[in-house]
Structure 1
Amino acid sequence: MVKIADVARHAKVSPSTVSYALSGKRPISPQTRQRIEESIRVLGYRPHAGARSLASSQSRVLALVLPLRKGVHVPVLMQFATSVLTAAREHNHDVLLLAQDEGDEGIVRVAKSAMADAFIIMDVELEDRRLPLLRTLDQPSVLIGFPADPTGLTCVDLDFRGAGEACVEHLAALGHRSVALIGSPPEVYLRGTGFARRVTAGFTAAADRLGMRSIAHPCPETPAAARAMAERLIREDPSLTAVVVHNESVIQPLIAAFTAMGLRVPQDLSVIAICPDETAEQALVPITSVSIPSDEIGTRAVGLLMAKLVGRDAPETTVLPARLTPRSTTAPPGSL
């Protein structure tokens, strides 16, 4: 087992200097701290978490604010939560999950009680009521998502506008001229949730730029709503040849509904989803999709927080590019 003395020898400092670097009881020069941190990494030293917390007055806990609101797709949210938990453990931190929609109140309660050293905020709205508070807290925070004004905040997310654009561009390249977006449940848009609004904006802008007919509708997350939406789209535009789905709950019910109407996928109707790769790959017919990289986003969010906790600079915005993977549900219109 690696001990403090081993770290001290490797970093060419005294054991007390290593102890001070870990506890924060005395100031250590940046050069010395960097050397100690490198020795800890190389040797694989793991200080006792309880002892470090007591010595440094840190909880070594990250609070993940993930309100389970109406219209959210819980399986995808849990993928984000798992990625945050896994990344936090790699940094010897635990995660406190705040799943109730408490607004400021839950964050204030945790901040005042020192239960957590920092916050990761999810389900970010364009005009999010939590932002003024986050800008004033002593504890650092990272948002998974972008508000309308991210000034003074640290945000990371997929380029959801780019995701909407990528779907339309892929379909246009295949020769489609009429496309529909089946979006998130209505309440998600009513809350002004950033990712949903950005997908719609990107979808509409790309269709307009490419001279395509387009329609976009929110869709409740039930099979009955999916069937009704399929019928509505064909009724509104009988020439429709492609749909983009940004609503994980209704992807399979929609495909089943279109099939029941006599439309073959992809020969008569191409389908693209914005969803996790697992959802697209494990479907009965693998679905062309833009991936939601929950693992990478969660890992990036934790990494940004770790940098802020030790006083290092962190970029205000981290945007992951949209990546489309063609599979079996898209083809030129009218293909055999």
Structure 2
Amino acid sequence: MITIKEVARHAGVSISTVSYVLSGKRSISEETKRRVEQSIIALGYHPNAGARALASNRSRVIGLIVPLRSDHNMPVIMQFVSSIVASARDYDYDVLLLTKEAGPGEAHRVTARSMADAIIVMDVESADPRVPELRTVDAPVVLLGMPDDHQGLNCVDLDFASAGRQMVGHLADRGHRSIALIGSPPAVYERGTSYAARLLAGFQQETAKRNLPASVHSCAADYDAVSACLDDVLRPERGTTGLVVHNEAALGSLLLELRRRSLKVPADLSVITLCPDDVARGLAVPLTSIAVPADELGALAVEMVTGRLEREHPPEIRLLQPQLTDRGSTSTR
């Protein structure tokens, strides 16, 4: 690995001069600066985190708080993490992944010890107990999610309520008059996870507005749970003809069980879901879906948090509007 000492030798300057060029703390002649920069490029030098911290009084690290729970769909979580890591590198930041289910003091602990310059928080709850602390952290904080009490906070997320309304509308406009929501696992609702609550609210608002009979079913992702859920959803008296699915981990089992019951999508039952596009495309029956834009949301979170490291910004809520892709899994009734 190339060191700052080797850069200094190659450029014919002192180590401190290289450091000043990197940090911009002292005025260096344009000719000397150009020579140092050429040496950095020629040698492929990358200052390590410790050197950057000494030069700029910053760690060049973003803390990402994402407690890993048993009810999380890890492939989707990792899409968000990968997007944040890749976007942070574009801004010359590293990411410190904080996965322990820590209490409200975690953001203060990380920033107070200079472990990170800023914080991104995932797995946001509707009544998130971390909110009071996050308002007082002496560093930029962005929530990838939106609690009910979001005053004074920076949040970025998909507009899940709008997504719920849009999926109901898609089915209702095709003549469906009895719709079921197969939702997230029970633990997700019990914990008050914000995205699940907001999609449920949007679903219920739209079915009430259109005076549609509707049922809601929390469902674990394992096959037996999906089968039992369908027993309830498809009770004859419900007359269910359309499913809204907000449980990407259950989709494979759902389609398999429908096939076992000789029910065809969309001839016998229409299905629309909210999940990543690659999941919806890759199923045995490609599903009409609203995308979970993990790449875009992760990049926006990094853009917001790094922007607040450079200058003051007022608190901001950015909700991406849902984008629906019709793959033919819903029919007209």
Match of 1:296 in 2: 296
Match of 1:70 in 2: 70
SS in 1 for 2:299: helix
* Separation in 2, partners of 1:201, 1:216: 11
Aligned length: 301
* Separation in 1, partners of 2:277, 2:88: 23
Match of 1:118 in 2: 118
* Separation in 1, partners of 2:45, 2:159: 36
1:112 CA drift (Å)? 2.4
* Separation in 2, partners of 1:24, 1:134: 31
- Structure 1 vs Structure 2 CA RMSD: 2.3
* Separation in 1, partners of 2:120, 2:77: 13
Contact 1:124 1:193 in 2 (8 A): yes
* Separation in 2, partners of 1:195, 1:311: 30
Contact 2:255 2:285 in 1 (8 A): no
User: Aligned pair in 2 of structure 1 residues 232, 124: CA closer, same or farther (>3 Å)?
Assistant: same
* Separation in 2, partners of 1:88, 1:159: 24
User: Aligned pair in 2 of structure 1 residues 131, 228: CA closer, same or farther (>3 Å)?
Assistant: same
1:48 CA drift (Å)? 3.6
SS in 1 for 2:255: helix
Match of 1:4 in 2: none
Q: Structure 1 residue 323 and structure 2 residue 318: aligned? A: no
* TM-score (normalizing by structure 2): 0.85
- Residue 71 of structure 1 aligns with an amino acid whose one-letter code is D
* TM-score (normalizing by structure 1): 0.84
* Separation in 2, partners of 1:107, 1:200: 29
- Residue 168 of structure 1 aligns with an amino acid whose one-letter code is V
* Separation in 1, partners of 2:242, 2:112: 51
Match of 2:210 in 1: 210
User: Aligned pair in 2 of structure 1 residues 57, 130: CA closer, same or farther (>3 Å)?
Assistant: same
Match of 2:263 in 1: 263
- Residue 246 of structure 1 aligns with an amino acid whose one-letter code is H
Q: Gaps (5+ residues) in structure 2?
A: 1-16, 27-36
* Separation in 2, partners of 1:192, 1:71: 13
Deviations 1:109-155 (A, max 9, x none): 31221111110000101111111111111111100000001111100
* Separation in 2, partners of 1:161, 1:237: 28
* Separation in 2, partners of 1:147, 1:238: 33
Match of 1:130 in 2: 130
Contact 2:153 2:315 in 1 (8 A): no
Contact 1:308 1:314 in 2 (8 A): no
1:178 CA drift (Å)? 0.6
- Residue 218 of structure 1 aligns with an amino acid whose one-letter code is S
Structure 1 runs (4+) deviating above 3 angstroms are: 22-26, 44-52
1:106 CA drift (Å)? 3.1
Match of 2:108 in 1: 108
1:99 CA drift (Å)? 0.8
- Residue 207 of structure 1 aligns with an amino acid whose one-letter code is T
Contact 1:65 1:97 in 2 (8 A): yes
Match of 1:98 in 2: 98
* Separation in 1, partners of 2:216, 2:20: 59
* Separation in 1, partners of 2:25, 2:152: 29
1:57 CA drift (Å)? 1.5
* Separation in 1, partners of 2:224, 2:139: 45
Contact 2:207 2:213 in 1 (8 A): yes
SS in 2 for 1:84: helix
SS in 1 for 2:215: strand
Contact 1:73 1:249 in 2 (8 A): yes
1:70 CA drift (Å)? 3.2
Match of 2:164 in 1: 164
User: Aligned pair in 2 of structure 1 residues 92, 46: CA closer, same or farther (>3 Å)?
Assistant: farther
Q: Gaps (5+ residues) in structure 1?
A: 1-15, 27-39
- Residue 283 of structure 2 aligns with an amino acid whose one-letter code is A
SS in 2 for 1:174: coil
SS in 2 for 1:86: helix
Match of 1:142 in 2: 142
- Residue 193 of structure 1 aligns with an amino acid whose one-letter code is T
1:107 CA drift (Å)? 2.6
Match of 1:248 in 2: 248
* Separation in 1, partners of 2:180, 2:272: 10
1:23 CA drift (Å)? 3.6
* Separation in 2, partners of 1:293, 1:53: 33
1:237 CA drift (Å)? 4.0
Higher mean alpha-carbon deviation, 128-137 vs 151-160, is at 128-137
Contact 2:255 2:284 in 1 (8 A): no
User: Aligned pair in 2 of structure 1 residues 79, 110: CA closer, same or farther (>3 Å)?
Assistant: same
1:25 CA drift (Å)? 4.8
- Residue 171 of structure 2 aligns with an amino acid whose one-letter code is L
Match of 2:234 in 1: 234
SS in 1 for 2:207: helix
SS in 2 for 1:72: coil
Match of 1:54 in 2: 54
- Residue 56 of structure 2 aligns with an amino acid whose one-letter code is S
Deviations 1:215-272 (A, max 9, x none): 1111112111001101111126441101011011111211221222222110010001
* Separation in 1, partners of 2:216, 2:91: 43
SS in 2 for 1:69: coil
Contact 2:178 2:238 in 1 (8 A): no
